[in-house]
Amino acid sequence: MSSTSTAHGPIAPPRTEEVADGVFAYVQPDGGWCLNNAGIIVADGRTALVDTAATEARALLLRDAVRELTPHAPHLVVNTHFHGDHAFGNFVFTPEAVVVGQELCRSEMATAGLHLTTLWPDVRWGDLNLELPSVTFRDELTVHIGGIEARLVHIGPAHTTNDTVVWLPQQRVLFTGDLVMSGVTPFFPMGSLSGSLAAIDRLRQFDARVLVTGHGPVVGPEVLDTAERYLLWVHGLAREGLAAGLTPLEVAAETDPGEYARLLDAERLVPNLHRAYAEERGLAPGAPMDIGAMFREMIEHHGALPTCRA
């Protein structure tokens, strides 16, 4: 895929980076809406993926990237959560690959279906065929890709109710899914603010050397500090807004984003505040909220539909 241009500037093509022996990050710049990262693990004639991509064309590009590394098609695809940008491309790799996800990933993926495509109808999604995880787990599952051990750990509710990280202990590489994003605004209206803060603490315990986040460049553990500061900032805004009798939309309109203005997709502040407000009022982490209403307020705050770069 050649570079394209949007209102946000030129978009570079996907790139594959080796982050450890046989372990690769597949990075889709610029990391904004629907431009997620994936992982490719290759060892001893076996291949696995961590997540896929949002559109048929982008999933096919991921397949091409795998073929440049190994003649062995993936036998395993791990979905870090149910969102379509990480999972719509599953079908490109089945039936050769078994799709694995946390048990709520399967059920929430089935419920959501292809709804994401209706939010951005102008995107060329392709001929998508929703492929649910056929193997599920509850808390943890260890898989082996040749000689590489990969531990799948459910953490949350945080970004969603069904977030899974993929930890490679020998390589000290952590695939975080959207629990953490690099240079991109966190997004937790389908999960939990308090759960996201707890997730940061758990991610620190892995003592990872390299983090392949759900969106944005490959980074080190310092990204956890940035994410934590943002989450605490939103928590403070929510408490102040509730005390002042302001709505999340009003708080967002009055707030100077400061250091967070440099993060992509800053409009996510509105739905994030809605979740923070709800939890301050006693809503349980992960409890359903009206995502459609929050998305409409986000559009109002942003002044337009956010750009989906897929």
Per-residue pLDDT band for 2 (boundaries 50, 70, 90) equals very low
pLDDT of residue 1: 44
Inform me whether the pLDDT recorded for 3 exceeds 70: no
Written as one letter, the residue type at 95 is P
pLDDT of residue 6: 41
Inform me whether the pLDDT recorded for 171 exceeds 90: yes
pLDDT of residue 9: 58
Inform me whether the pLDDT recorded for 144 exceeds 80: yes
Per-residue pLDDT band for 7 (boundaries 50, 70, 90) equals very low
pTM tops 0.85: yes
Distance between CA atoms of residues 300 and 45, nearest Å: 51
Give per-residue pLDDT as tens, 15-43: 999 999 999 999 999 999 999 999 999 99
Inform me whether the pLDDT recorded for 4 exceeds 60: no
CB-based contacts of 283-291 (< 8 A; 24+ apart in sequence): 285/157, 285/191, 285/192, 285/194, 285/195, 286/156, 286/157, 286/160, 286/161, 286/191, 286/192, 286/195, 289/189, 289/190, 291/189, 291/190
Give per-residue pLDDT as tens, 265-307: 999 999 999 999 999 999 999 999 999 999 999 999 999 999 9
Question: Do 132 and 79 form a contact (C-beta atoms < 8 A)?
Answer: no
